[in-house]
A and B are shown apart, each in its own frame.
Chain A
Amino acid sequence: MSAILEVRGLGKTFGGFTALNDIGLAVAPGERLGLIGPNGSGKSTFVNCIAGDFLNHSGVVLFKDQPLTGMKPHERARLGLTRTFQLPRPFRSLTVLENVAVPLRFSVPPLAMADAEARACACLQLVGLHDKARSYAHSLTQVDLRKLELARALVREPALLIADEVMAGLSHSEVDQILDLLFAQNVRGTAIIMIEHVMRAVTAFSQRLAVFVAGRKIAEGDPRTVLATPEVEAAYLGI
């Protein structure tokens, strides 16, 4: 099979602490993969290694069959591998529209300002932020900030999105809004890795589930089966 993302033997240590240990994982094009695990299990470290924030790790990460070794975050983003941050990180001095235009202005080749704004506008329409296009981040609600974060990651129609806890702290109906957005984007062809503690969302969304505990992948497969295995119950649910 030709995976969009293939991770082999990924390891990362901070001093004497092993944050990730020999992780192997593959994501097929257009797949929806859920990634769960207790706090401190290495999920965010995993994202940072794949997105290029930690260049110094062991193992290989292949994206579209191309090794990403040594590639900086912006180069990976331009290839179509985008991520959102756990805490929204908007560009505060830019309008919502400009925020979403930035990735387009810095794609290869770059879009002209007018084209970038038109496409950013269409993307804001999709996530439901179009009526706030001229506002600044400080006037947005928490759920709108998450939508902005998603719009910025999705506007370039990436091949793979890593959604790092985009639903944390949102209400029931807000979680549904974000889920709808992610489903819609998935239909448009983007493979999505969802890292999430909101179990209702992960189980509803994922075609496949991987579980990290203490830097190791302890289970992977069909969500129901994985959640029913004793190791996962013991480690993740603390039973």
Chain B
Amino acid sequence: MSRLLRFHLGLAATGIVLIFALRLIGNDYAWYTGYVILQYVLLSVAWNVLAGYAGYVNFGTAAFFATGAYTTILLTKSLNLDLVLCVLAAGLISGGLGLAVGWLTLRLRGVYFSIATLSLAVVLQTLVVNWSYAGGSSGAYTMRPQGNNLFGNYSEFLFVLMLVLALGAIAAAAWIERSRLGMGLAAIRDDERAAAAAGVPTLRLKLIATAISGAMMGMAGAPLPYYASYLNPEAAFSLTYTINTMAMTLIGGTQSWVGPVIGAVLLSALQQGATVTISSAGNLLIVGGVLILFVMLAPKGILGLVQASRGKGGAA
């Protein structure tokens, strides 16, 4: 059996185990918590495609995420499309947005690119606030179906949907790492001018990475209107998504897809636990605290710690 096939079977098995484990708990809250954790797994893996592989820090996570969420709202309202189709459409639209933004901003290097992406969220939020068909500033409601054909419980359906998306993103990220694209992105991250001199079409690869990353983020946001039943611009474009996603990826480590997965699972589980036991306002405080600890003690994240303990230093 090839390594790739084994890897994909492993991912699928993990998914099935997760579904049955949560069924055993048999509690709606378990599906909710699982959904949020997987949403951050998806966002972090997506963010890392650009930040970890290509070295471009995107501050616009919330913009892509909200674009996905609002795609669902608009398509449900206008065409009454099924959520699964909305997710696919959100991927296309957010991917297209990534391409467009990338084309406009990727000539900018380093911090200038980051600032440009930050402003993207502001621009889009202003647009939605002034768009009454999309609910304007007061937001939009989404009627949640009672159940689903395959899954009796709609919460379970949302969980499974996010699970499939997250596992798909992991498979895609793992493929990129081993592909020609991944090698080109690594060259760009290490030294963009030298990459170009070696024949790497830098702009095109960066655009592909932004489009893939944006599409994944958009798909992460697409089920949100159904998850929350109500969506307003402030919630959808919340900077929390941006900050959480960055912090989780950095804490996990950017070297491979494993890092964002570990970071997202650990940190969002911690956040969910704290929401129940302490207070919901403490979330960002936890993220901030953990991030500061990691920046000081383990700047390469958990993956960096593991690699250091195995004694394989490698990249600077």
**Which one of B186, B189, B191, B198 contacts A77 once the chains associate, using CB atoms below 8 Å?**
B198
Partner of A89 from B186, B194, B316 at Cβ < 8 Å = B194
Interface status of A85 (Cβ within 8 A of chain B): yes
Question: Which residues of the partner chain B approach A105 to less than 8 Å between Cβ atoms?
Answer: 180, 183-184
Report whether A91 and B197 are in contact in the complex, using a CB–CB cutoff of 8 Å.
Answer: no
Q: Does B145 contact A (CB under 8 A)?
A: no
Inside 8 A of A42's CB, which chain B residues have their CB? none
In the bound complex, residues from chain B placing their C-beta under 8 Å from that of A73 are 193, 196-197
Q: Given A91-B186, A91-B190, decide whether A102 and B195 contact each other with a Cβ distance below 8 A.
A: yes
Residues of A with Cβ closer than 8 Å to B?
A: 51-53, 72-75, 77-78, 82-83, 85, 89-94, 98, 101-103, 105-107, 110, 113, 136-138, 152-153, 156
Q: Contacts A106-B184, A110-B180; is A89 near B191 (CB within 8 Å)?
A: yes
Smallest Cβ-Cβ distance to B203: which chain A residue: A72
Decide yes or no whether B311 CB sits under 8 A from chain A: no
Asked if B250 is at the interface of the complex by the 8 Å CB criterion, the answer is: no
Contact, CB under 8 Å: A85 / B198: no
Return the contact of B199 from the options A106, A113, A138 (Cβ within 8 A): A106
Minimal beta-carbon separation of A213 from chain B (angstroms): 27
A53 to B190, CA, bound (A): 18
| Candidates B193, B194, B199, B315; contact of A93 at CB < 8 Å | B315
Residues in A neighbouring B199, C-beta threshold 8 A: 74, 77-78, 102-103, 106-107, 156
Task: Report the minimal beta-carbon distance from A154 to chain B, rounded to whole angstroms.
Answer: 11
B197 touches A85 (CB 8 A): yes
**Contacts A74-B196, A94-B190 known; 16 new A-B pairs at CB < 8 A:** A72-B203, A74-B199, A77-B198, A77-B199, A78-B199, A85-B197, A89-B194, A92-B191, A93-B186, A93-B314, A93-B315, A105-B183, A105-B184, A106-B198, A107-B199, A152-B198
| In the assembled complex, B30 has its CB within 8 A of some CB on chain A | no
**Interface hits, B229-280 → A, CB 8 Å:** none
Which of B183, B201, B315 is close to A136, meaning CB atoms less than 8 Å apart?
A: B315
Measured in the bound complex, the distance between the Cα atoms of B175 and A53 in whole Å is 32
Q: How far is the CB of A92 from chain B (nearest CB, A)?
A: 5
Minimum distance in angstroms from B255 CB to a CB of chain A: 8
Please report the C-alpha to C-alpha distance between residue A156 and residue B198 in the assembled complex, in whole angstroms. 9
Name which of A91, A92, A105, A113 has the most chain B CB atoms within 10 A of its CB: A91
Instruction: Give A105 to B189 CA distance when docked, in angstroms.
Output: 17
- Interface members, chain B 106-165 (any A CB < 8 Å): none
A106 and B190: CB pair below 8 A?
Answer: no
Cβ–Cβ < 8 Å partners of A106 in chain B: 180, 184, 198-201
Q: What A residues does B187 contact at CB under 8 A?
A: 91, 94, 102
CB distance from B184 to the nearest CB of A (A): 6
* Contacts from B to A (Cβ < 8 Å): 180, 183-184, 186-187, 189-191, 193-203, 313-316
List chain B residues, Cβ under 8 A from A107: 199
A15 CA to B142 CA, complexed, in Å = 58
B190 touches A77 (CB 8 A): no
Complex: how many Å from CA A170 to CA B193?
Answer: 24
User: A102 touches which one: B184, B201, B315 (CB < 8 A)?
Assistant: B184
Cα distance A94–B187 in the bound complex, in angstroms? 8
Chain A residues, CB < 8 A from B203:
72
Q: With contacts A77-B199, A106-B199, A136-B315 known, is A90 near B183, CB below 8 A?
A: no
Across the interface, name the chain A residue whose C-beta is closest to B179.
Answer: A113
Contact partner, B195, options A52, A91, A98, A101, Cβ 8 Å:
A91
Q: How far is the CA of A74 from the CA of B192 in the complex (A)?
A: 11
A85-B186 contact in complex given A93-B314, A136-B314, A138-B316, C-beta closer than 8 Å: no
In the assembled complex, which residues on chain A have CB atoms less than 8 Å from the CB atom of B315? 92-93, 136
**A60-B89 Cα distance, complex, nearest whole Å:** 47
Q: Across the interface, name the chain B residue whose C-beta is closest to A98.
A: B183
Say whether A90 contacts B191, CB under 8 Å: yes
The 10 sampled A-B contact pairs (Cβ below 8 Å) are A51-B197, A74-B200, A77-B199, A89-B193, A91-B190, A93-B189, A94-B186, A103-B198, A106-B198, A136-B316
Q: How far is the CA of A230 from the CA of B68 in the complex (A)?
A: 71
**A82 CA to B195 CA in the complex, in Å?**
12
A91–B196 CA distance with the chains assembled, in angstroms:
12
Provide the bound-state CA to CA distance between A72 and B205, in Å.
Answer: 14
For the complex formed, measure the closest distance between the CB of B258 and the CB atoms of chain A, giving whole angstroms: 16
Residues of chain A lying within 8 A (CB to CB) of residue B193: 53, 73, 85, 89
Asked whether B197 lies within 8 Å of A77 as measured between CB atoms, the reply is yes
Q: In the complex where A74-B201, A136-B315 touch, is A90 in contact with B194 (Cβ < 8 A)?
A: yes
Q: CA A82 – CA B199 in complex, angstroms?
A: 9
A82 to B196: give the CA distance in the assembly, Å: 10
Question: Closest B-chain residue to A155, C-beta based?
Answer: B198
- A138: which B residues are within 8 A, CB to CB? 316
Within the assembled complex, what's the spacing in Å between the Cα atoms of A74 and B190? 16
Q: State in angstroms the CA–CA spacing of A60 and B66 once bound together.
A: 48
Q: How far is the CB of B65 from chain A (nearest CB, A)?
A: 29
- Residues of chain B with a CB closer than 8 A to A82's CB: 197
Instruction: Say yes or no: B196 contacts A77, CB within 8 Å.
Output: yes
